[in-house]
Amino acid sequence: MVRILDVVIGRGVTDAQSHAEQRRVRTINVVAFGAFSCTSLLTVVFALLGARVLGETPFWLFLSSSLIFMCGYAAVLVINGLGRHDGAVVLALTTGLANLVLASAFVGFGVGTSVFLAVPAIAVLLITRAEDSTVRWAFVIASVAAFALLAAVDTQVADAIAGTWVEVLLVVANFAAMVGFAVAVVWNQRLLADRTEQALETANELSERLLLNILPKHIADRLRAGESPIADRIDHVTVLFADIVDSTPLSERLSARDWVALLDSLFTRFDELAEGFGLEKIKTIGDGYMVVGGLDAESQQHEAAIAEMALAMRSELEDRQAQGLERLRMRFGIASGPVVAGVIGSRKLSYDLWGDTVNTASRMESHGQPDQIQVTQTTYRNLRNSYMFSDPREVQIKGKGLVTTYFLIGPKPSESVTPSK
């Protein structure tokens, strides 16, 4: 039964509509279906009680008008389902107002049917758009005027039922029908509100995940707080660049789908490693990967974490080859020092780093060797007590001349850093 009602109430609703329009279309159906149900119920009640309820009004006239109004409400559902929502609104309101005026005139003002005259004034606010102010005010005024007119005429219940249990039954029936109608409308609005809130929560969670994918958490918090521009000078960080060796021939040999899938699986694993070591991935540049440690004041041993990250990345490549996957080799470069960090862009935000430390880390990678992790002398000095390195080597770096560098071999016994769970 609930599923059938949901189908009826959902007629005319499409994914292309805005949430506000979907709510309006559903509410039109609720109003039409509720009015149809109430009219049917009261018609049956009056039919069972007999012609004496109507006084001088011929029963056939009452019955035929009720059937016409029921057909009008059914037509609203059909028209609304066909996408003619504005026409459905006008038909629903005019049918409802005419139905209530005649019903009150037929059975008498005193049995409670007149309470339904509040429905058009309420429904018009729910099923019209904000810009339809003329229609809204017209039906509000019409509902009040109809109630005032019937009250002035003072149509009473038929003498045959005045003061009897039948009069009480009609009052209760009308009140119950009005309450049922109001509950149906409020229930629909509450259901839509719950769905909207759930959709908003889901969207907020998604946007939060997306935001944290491109920005460090402490930067995202500052951005949400309204800080702009976001720019920091950080005295000491450690930057890692990694790049796939001979990627161009490999990308040409593989299909586009296979090449992208390969990079996706590899960089997804690198992202997991970065998160585990408490590091921040800054970006991927083609088949290159950039990660940094020390952006947050809470970061302590970021040089060791970056070293372990590089070693874990290299191990990942070895594991992939052992599993029979495509053999990949990478160069790794690490440098430590000050950077400028900040957020640029408005439509596509980008958190990036600038400075000599970044450039040096990039040079460490590009002037390195496959499967080797080349570090600067500064990084070496900070890690030499915990890690093993190759002998120093002199590398000609553009713009710097001869630079002393080292290859990171691995941690000394009992000195490794493990990713956090």
Three-state secondary-structure class, residue 309: helix
Three-state secondary-structure class, residue 157: coil
The residues pairing with 334 across neighbouring beta strands, listed in sequence order, are: 240, 375
Q: Cis bond leading into 229, ω under 30°?
A: yes
Task: Give the pLDDT score at 300.
Answer: 63
**Domain limits, the chain:** 2-208, 217-411
How far from chain centre, in Å, is Cα 258?
A: 31
pLDDT tens-digit profile of 304-339? 999 999 999 999 998 888 877 777 899 999 999 999
The residues pairing with 376 across neighbouring beta strands, listed in sequence order, are: 405
Q: Is the pLDDT of residue 418 over 70?
A: no
Confidence tier at 131 by pLDDT (50, 70, 90): confident
CA-to-CA distance for 419 and 421, rounded, in angstroms?
6
CA-to-CA distance for 291 and 303, rounded, in angstroms?
12
- What average pLDDT does the chain have? 82
- pTM score over 0.85: no
Task: Give the pLDDT score at 127.
Answer: 81
DSSP string, 353-389: EESHHHHHHHHHHHTS-TT-EEEEHHHHHHHTTTEEE
CA-to-CA distance for 173 and 170, rounded, in angstroms?
5
| Angle of the 85-107 helix axis to the 133-153 helix axis, nearest 10 | 10
Token pair in block for residue 330: 């990478």
Q: Is the pLDDT of residue 137 over 90?
A: no
* Superfamily holding 217-411: Nucleotide cyclase, GGDEF domain (3.30.70.1230)
Token pair in block for residue 64: 């035929």
Task: Give the pLDDT score at 304.
Answer: 93
Q: Is the pLDDT of residue 155 over 60?
A: no
Residues carrying an active site annotation: 363, 398
Task: Give the pLDDT score at 417.
Answer: 55
